[in-house]
Amino acid sequence: MGSIITSFALPKTKVTYNRDLPYLTFVKASYGNIPVVHYHRDDYLPTLLMAHSNGEDIGQFNVKKLSHQFNANIVVFDYCGYGLNTCKEASEDHCYHDIEHVYIYLIRCGILAENIILYGRSIGTGVASHMARLLCKHKIPTKLILVSPFKSVIRVMINLPYCPGDLFNIEKMAPNITCPVLIIHGCQDKLTDYRQSVALSALFPCLTQFVTIHGCGHHELTKREEYIDAIHSFVTD
């Protein structure tokens, strides 16, 4: 059952880039090298650390465009099993280790913790939530953006309240995430249920805003002006 859940959450995807990808670097981990696109436009801007969805890799991100849309420096990385990550074993734990290593890399680059904002979309909301919970536990300042989140992977698949081997359980993490949180969700999302997002919103102690994008499904969300405006406002506030 565990392998089925993992393959649903972290399916194999086609690699869309090579080592010539602009702004590409690699962060070393004990289990492999993590591909990172780091577009640093200005020292005075916040840095958005982005955990992407399970159907894409970093080759599909226009980081220059995102930087100007959100008024932030952009960092996006590939999980184990994705892109040119040298570790090919996709797992929940590896995703968590990946974002932790990339976060440490940013700190070593001289970026202040209070200037790092976490972002997750779809499966990435579980990854970003893990990092936010860890930082909040150690009272390290941050902010969290969740785009199309869910309660847990099992709740997405079959909506059971509990099942052994469940992954990315944001419902359990949320009460311990005490930083400011922005949630954005399309109300016609057929992949990650909008109603789960609404229920989750009540669990975050410091929810700043819940933005509903009307008439919008899972894949069109990032193209909507309301989405861009909400993130821009949250990042620059």
Q: Which domains does the chain carry?
A: 2-236 (3.40.50.1820)
> Can you tell me the distance from the alpha carbon of 206 to that of 220, in angstroms, rounded to the nearest whole number?
27
Tens of pLDDT along 81-127?
Answer: 999 999 999 999 999 999 999 999 999 999 999 999 999 999 999 99
- For 25-50, the DSSP string reads EEEEETTEEEEEEEE---TTS-EEEE
Q: What is the pTM (predicted TM-score) of this model?
A: 0.96
Q: What is the DSSP letter of 10?
A: S
**Enzyme catalytic residues:** 122, 189, 218
Nearest to 65 by CA among 205, 204, 223: 223
Most distant CA pair in the chain, distance = 47
Q: What residues in the chain have per-residue pLDDT under 70? A: 1-2, 159-164
pLDDT of residue 157: 75
pLDDT of residue 132: 98
pLDDT of residue 161: 64
pLDDT of residue 1: 46
> Can you tell me the distance from the alpha carbon of 212 to that of 226, in angstroms, rounded to the nearest whole number?
9
> Can you tell me the distance from the alpha carbon of 97 to that of 33, in angstroms, rounded to the nearest whole number?
12
